[in-house]
Every structure is written in C-alpha cells, then in structure tokens.
Chain A
Amino acid sequence: MNPSERNKLDEVERLAQVARGDQPPATDVSTDVLRRIRQEKAVINERPLVMFAMGSLALAVIVLAVSAPAMLSMLDPLNTLFETTPLAMM
C-alpha cells in the first residue's frame, strides 16, 4: 500500500476516533421494554393451551381419516362390491 492509500485509510480511522465521542439522542425505553416483556410472558403462558389445542386438532384429523371409510361402508355396505377392480388385479 503506497503512502497516499495509507493516508486515505488513516483519515477514516482518524474520523472514527473523533466519532467515538458522538452522543446519541436521549432515549427512554424502559417502559416499552417492560411492556413487551409482559406481552411475551402472556404468550408464553398461553403456549401450553395452544399446544394442547393443536394436539387435539391433529388427533381429530387422524380419527376422521380412519373413521371416514368405515362410516361410508356402514352407510352403504354393498358399495364395496361394486368398486372398480384395480387394473393390476385383472
């Protein structure tokens, strides 16, 4: 790196050194942070209930999938006799 290139980067480093004293605008986030924490706590408290509901839903879908064919055959017992025979069986 030649001296001119070095100077360019030194200038950026010098600027960064000056910029370390840069003060941000005043902030006051404590109220908002505590509100967000309370909201997240509420979500966490609801989590078991949500998990239970999702589990119940999954179980209901499985039961429906298993019981639907049985229900159909009960409604129309002769239906199975007239089902088209798969080609592979012919």
Chain B
Amino acid sequence: MTAMTMSVTHEKEWTLLGSAVSESDREDIHRCLNGDEEAYGRIIRRYEPQIAAQMWRFSRDQLILEELVQEVFVEAYTSLANYKGKAPFLHWLRRIATRVGYRYWKVKGRDKTRRDTLEASREEWMNRGKPESPSEAGELVYLLLDKLPPQERMVLTLLYFEQWDTAEIAEHMGWSRSLVKVRAFRARKKLKIYLEDAGYESIGA
C-alpha cells in the first residue's frame, strides 16, 4: 500500500511507531499519512541536507544529484506506510537513499562515454597536488572508487563513508556477510592494482 492510497485507517498504525522516532517526525508522518502534503514538505526540508550529502557520493553532477535526492523522497513517500519507527526516520531514509544510489550506479555503469571522461579526470587528479580540502579528497575518492563494479564500490562506500560494519552492509544489501567480506577484499585488491598501474607512490605526492 502506498501513502497515496492511505486514509484515516492508518490512525492506529502510526501511533504504534517506535520510540526511535522524534516527536516532530511522528507528527509530520501522521499528517502526511492523512494526506497533508505540507507535512511532507517539512520532512523533506528537514532531511534534504543529509540525503544530499549521501547522494553526493553517488554522483558529483549537481543535476543528477538533485534527481537522485528527488527520487529518494518520492520513494520514501510511497513507502511511508511501511515505516515502523524501529529506527530513526533518517536511518530509514538513508537506506532508501543507498538503494536509489546503487540502482543509479548499475544503470550508468553501461555508459561508455561517461567512463572515458572519468578516466581522463582520474588521470588528471592522480597527477595533481595532494588533495587539501574535503571537496578535493571527495572528488579523488569518487574517481578511484568509480574504477570498481557497482557491488564492490557499494561495499567500500558503505565501509568508508557510512562507516557501516560488514554485518550491517550484509543485512541491508541482502548479501551474506562472507560475500560482503569477499567483495571488500576484491575491491581493495583492484584498487591497489590500479594505484600501482597509475604509478602511485603517494597520491599526488
């Protein structure tokens, strides 16, 4: 069932939301389930910066970033009735964001023109000075991880940026824990080979 088809019959369900939900979220989710769009607007404005920061790891293009953030909030709206409040609302949103980003990587990985452009940027970045700012470091890590297939890239992104452990990644991605470990191992190995091939001594040194 989607939020769009919901009615006051959800009155009972929303009161069962777990204690992990903040009072403002609880109120807005309740209003939203009863068709108040402005309440959802408030939820979006509350969490947009965090979700945008997360989606920035999936694309460094502002237009695509906006599309991805939109997609996350649209998907969250259509699944709102399934949110049980066992974890804070932001955690739930982040999981949807991870799914949306992963889907995007799987689709855009087939775009050869884009891959060639990134390869050129990657080489340029590898020869630049040592990244000083978080933005430069973010760009370089993005380009390095882009060498990997989506599954392996996802594992390292979740490990490095979201700081999830292998059990959390396994649970969220629907993979076994050993598969997550294998993918992390393979990803690191590929990254090492790439850095060697690129003549790496110390990035940008």
Contact = CB atoms under 8 A, between A and B. Distances in A.
Main secondary structure on B side of the interface with A: helix
A9 B192 contact: yes
Interface in B189-203: 191-192, 195-196, 200, 202-203
A34 B200 contact: no
Interface residues of B, number: 42
Contacts, number: 104
Contacts of A8: 191-192, 195-196, 200
Given A24-B65, A27-B48, A27-B65, A36 B41 contact: no
A68 interface: no
Interface of A: 5, 7-9, 11-13, 15-25, 27-30, 32-34, 36-38, 40-41, 44
Interface of B: 2, 4-5, 37, 40-41, 44-45, 48, 52-53, 55-56, 62, 65-66, 69-70, 73-74, 77-78, 131, 133-135, 137-138, 140-142, 144, 160-161, 188, 191-192, 195-196, 200, 202-203
